[in-house]
């Protein structure tokens, strides 16, 4: 079917009559590539031309702690209490491990207060910058939504049944892609909004020498001796 | 046999061999591709007995007696472990060390825990301790302790 040369244009994509969905798809791919190229240029030049960058960087914070405590259940209760006080929640809990989420602006405070729950044997902190991925998703989402709007307009104009079915399939496909992108963006935003902290409790056994002296030579590796670390298949990695 | 050349050579060999597995594990044990922190190498049996290897600094160049007592204190005073035995051990390459065997229990399960250490100084490096730890459920690992000790003696 011949293309209508006088069809209106939208964002550089030529509106076409039914039967030219393939052309429309090619045109949108060009639009995607153009948008990606502009984003790459913006990244290289350090400017925001042609790309909508988030107002600030998006970083996912996580930390892990191994605490020596006298009683794991008591330490877990204290941890739960302080996490809830900071506006967070317990994501996972087992006999000697908790995974908690706290608002990212309370992350430092959570770390400081966790160190008071027990003696810190090991700790690690990680910051993962997801700004680039999020920006890319935003760009793709914008292009997909524009394409969807044009497909819907094509569909509403009606026409041959076979053409309508083709357009409908494209609408369904693009809708699914949009939902996937939005879902991923929600996931990343959620991870950036709430920091994750894993806490392992290393409880001292009940049997101690009479007098209960806390032996503590200044050699960190001594503290990591024992069954717990050796039998753990997950610590630290 | 004059052990002096061996005591000189052994640390050098240990340094040169640092890129390959440091011990020959007991038969039927396998090496974990990703050892748990803080181990550099870790081996596991099908019954989940474990053997871990790492090198730690020998601050102050403590001798065998110093580290023996330190490890004993750390595990008995702080962790409530029961010391079963303490003995001298020498690797096939001539490195002298000590072995301490402990018993403990956790969550209603009895464990044995063996730690062996060997002071050495790498070529152009600072003094270190090669540390080997073996642990597992007592009923499972105790019958295998001879094989574990043989693995420790294979330290290179």
pLDDT tens, residue by residue, A99-115: 999 999 999 999 999 98
Q: Kindly determine whether residue A207 and residue B136, on different chains, have CB atoms separated by under 8 Å.
A: no
Q: Which residues contact B88 (CB under 8 A, 6 or more apart)?
A: B96, B97, B98, B99
**CB pairs < 8 Å spanning A and B:** 91
DSSP result, A23-60: HHHHHHHHHHHHHHHHHHHHHHHT--TTS---SS--EE
pLDDT tens, residue by residue, A67-95: 888 778 888 988 999 999 999 999 999 88
Question: Pick the residue with more confidence: B42 or A53?
Answer: B42
Tell me which chain A residue has its CA closest to the CA of residue B60. Answer: A219
Kindly report the pTM of this predicted structure.
0.47
* Mean per-residue pLDDT of chain A: 77
Q: Kindly determine whether residue A231 and residue B38, on different chains, have CB atoms separated by under 8 Å.
A: no
| Residue A219 banded pLDDT, cuts 50, 70, 90 | confident
**Mean of pLDDT values over A135-149:** 95
Tell me which chain A residue has its CA closest to the CA of residue B72. Answer: A222
The distance in angstroms from the start CA to the end CA of chain A is 60
Which chain B residues are closer than 8 Å to A217 by Cβ?
70, 73-74
Question: Pick the residue with more confidence: A46 or A123?
Answer: A123
Tell me which chain B residue has its CA closest to the CA of residue A231. Answer: B50
Which chain A residues are closer than 8 Å to B104 by Cβ?
205, 226-227
pLDDT tens, residue by residue, B44-54: 999 999 999 99
- Which of B74, B100, B103, B112 is best to mutate for the A interface (most A CBs within 10 A)? B74
State residue A111's pLDDT score. 92
Contact with chain A for residue B81, Cβ under 8 A: yes
**Mean of pLDDT values over A202-209:** 58
Question: Pick the residue with more confidence: B97 or A43?
Answer: B97
What is the crossing angle of helices A131-156 and A21-45, to 10°? 160
Question: Could you give the percent of chain A with pLDDT greater than 90?
Answer: 46
| Residue A178 banded pLDDT, cuts 50, 70, 90 | very high
pLDDT beyond 80 at B147: yes
Tell me which chain A residue has its CA closest to the CA of residue B49. Answer: A231
**Mean of pLDDT values over A10-24:** 41
State residue A47's pLDDT score. 38
A111 to chain B, minimum CA–CA distance in Å? Answer: 21
Angle at B88 between CA B86 and CA B94, to 5 degrees: 155
Lowest mean pLDDT among A17-21, A150-154, A175-179: A17-21
- Which of A64, A212, A218, A227 is best to mutate for the B interface (most B CBs within 10 A)? A227
Please identify among residues 78-117 of chain A the ones whose CB lies closer than 8 Å to any CB of chain B. 95
| Secondary structure string (H, E, C) spanning chain B | CCCHHHHHHHHHHHHHHHHCCCCCCCCCCEECCCCCCCCCEEEECCCCCEEEEEEEECHHHCCHHHHHHHHHHHHHHHCCCEEEEEEEEECCCCCEEEEEEEEEEECCEEEEEEEEEEEECCCCCCCEEEEEEEEEEHHHHHHHHHHHHHHHHCCC
pLDDT beyond 60 at A123: yes
State residue A104's pLDDT score. 95
**How big is chain A, counted in residues?**
237
> Which of A208, A223, A231 faces B50 most closely, judged by CB atoms?
A231
Structural contact between residues A236 and A122, judged by C-beta atoms closer than 8 angstroms? yes
Structure tokens at A108: 């430092």
- Which of A231, A235, A236 is best to mutate for the B interface (most B CBs within 10 A)? A231
State residue B12's pLDDT score. 54
Q: How far apart are CA A174 and CA B90, in angstroms?
A: 70
Beta-strand pair B30-31/A89-94 = unpaired
* Mean per-residue pLDDT of chain B: 87
**Mean of pLDDT values over A20-27:** 48
């Amino acid at each position: 079917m011949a293309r209508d040369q006088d069809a209106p244009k939208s964002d550089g994509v030529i509106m076409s009559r039914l039967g030219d969905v393939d052309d429309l798809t090619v045109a949108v791919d060009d639009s995607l590539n153009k948008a990606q190229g502009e984003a790459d240029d913006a990244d290289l030049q350090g400017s925001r031309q042609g790309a909508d960058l988030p107002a600030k960087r998006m970083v996912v914070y996580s930390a892990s702690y191994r605490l020596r405590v006298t009683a794991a259940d008591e330490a877990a209760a204290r941890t739960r209490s302080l996490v809830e006080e900071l506006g967070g929640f317990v994501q996972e809990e087992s006999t000697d491990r908790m995974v908690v989420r706290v608002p990212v602006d309370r992350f430092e405070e959570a770390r400081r207060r966790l160190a008071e729950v027990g003696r810190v044997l090991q700790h690690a902190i990680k910051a993962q910058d997801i700004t680039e991925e999020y920006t890319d998703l935003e760009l793709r989402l914008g292009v997909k939504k524009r394409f969807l709007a044009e497909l819907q307009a094509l569909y509403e104009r009606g026409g041959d049944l076979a053409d309508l079915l083709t357009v409908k399939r494209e609408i369904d496909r693009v809708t699914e892609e949009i939902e996937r992108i939005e879902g991923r963006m929600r996931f990343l935003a959620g991870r950036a909004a709430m920091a994750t902290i894993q806490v392992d409790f290393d409880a001292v056994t009940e049997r101690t020498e009479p007098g209960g002296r806390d032996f503590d030579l200044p050699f960190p590796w001594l503290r990591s001796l024992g069954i717990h670390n050796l039998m753990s298949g997950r610590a630290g990695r | 046999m004059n052990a002096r050349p061996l005591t000189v050579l052994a640390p050098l060999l240990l340094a040169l061999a640092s890129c390959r597995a440091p011990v020959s594990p007991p038969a039927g044990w396998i090496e974990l591709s990703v050892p748990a922190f803080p181990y550099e190498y870790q081996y596991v049996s099908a019954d989940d007995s474990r053997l871990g290897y790492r090198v730690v600094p020998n601050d102050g160049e403590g001798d065998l007696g110093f580290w023996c007592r330190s490890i004993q204190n750390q595990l008995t005073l702080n962790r409530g472990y029961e010391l079963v035995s303490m003995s001298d051990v020498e690797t096939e390459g001539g490195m002298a060390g000590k072995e301490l065997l402990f018993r403990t229990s956790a969550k209603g399960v009895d464990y044995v825990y063996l730690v062996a250490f060997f002071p050495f100084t790498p070529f152009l490096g600072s003094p270190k301790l090669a540390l080997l730890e073996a642990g597992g459920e007592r009923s499972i690992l105790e019958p295998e302790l001879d094989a574990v000790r043989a693995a420790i003696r294979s330290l290179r």
